[in-house]
Amino acid sequence: KNQVEQSPQSLIILEGKNCTLQCNYTVSPFSNLRWYKQDTGRGPVSLTIMTFSENTKSNGRYTATLDADTKQSSLHITASQLSDSASYICVVSAGDYKLSFGAGTTVTVRA
């Protein structure tokens, strides 16, 4: 069964600090991996997408890494801001319509 596990479930960080979120998956075949940011009451918004051959992808202060051999990905948030408070979802695609979603990591940034 295709699964996506995210850790931690939630975390609290102080404004200006960095944090790293983890995503482990067992999806096969693998097409791509996406990180989404979901603000409260809103739909998910794509941050990064990586295919099998890509090891890292950045979007501003967000940097995603992918190790396709170990089936692990991370999302690093640099110099966190209050607006980074959200749920971050790891999504792995097996191609066509088949997406496997992680349950998300809730990040709270405090002043």
Partner 1 sequence: DAGITQSPRHKVTETGTPVTLRCHQTENHRYMYWYRQDPGHGLRLIHYSYGVKDTDKGEVSDGYSVSRSKTEDFLLTLESATSSQTSVYFCAISESDTGDPSGTFGSGTRLTVV
Contact residues: partner 1, CB under 8 A: 4, 31-32, 34, 36, 41-46, 49, 89, 91, 93, 95-97, 99-104
Residues 22-59, buried b or exposed e (16+ Cβ, 10 A)? ebbbebeebebbbbbbeeeeeebeebbbbeeeeeebee
By beta-carbon proximity to partner 1, the closer residue of 19 and 34 is 34
By beta-carbon proximity to partner 1, the closer residue of 3 and 18 is 3
By beta-carbon proximity to partner 1, the closer residue of 35 and 65 is 35
Residue type, 45: V
Nearby residues of 28 by Cβ (< 8 Å), 6 or more positions away = 2, 94
Shortest distance in whole angstroms from residue 109 CB to partner 1:
21
By beta-carbon proximity to partner 1, the closer residue of 31 and 72 is 31
Cα distance between residue 62 and residue 54, in whole Å: 15
Shortest distance in whole angstroms from residue 23 CB to partner 1:
11
Tokens of 27: 């999806």
Shortest distance in whole angstroms from residue 38 CB to partner 1:
9
Shortest distance in whole angstroms from residue 16 CB to partner 1:
29
Kindly report the CA angle at 42 between 92 and 97, in degrees rounded to 5?
30
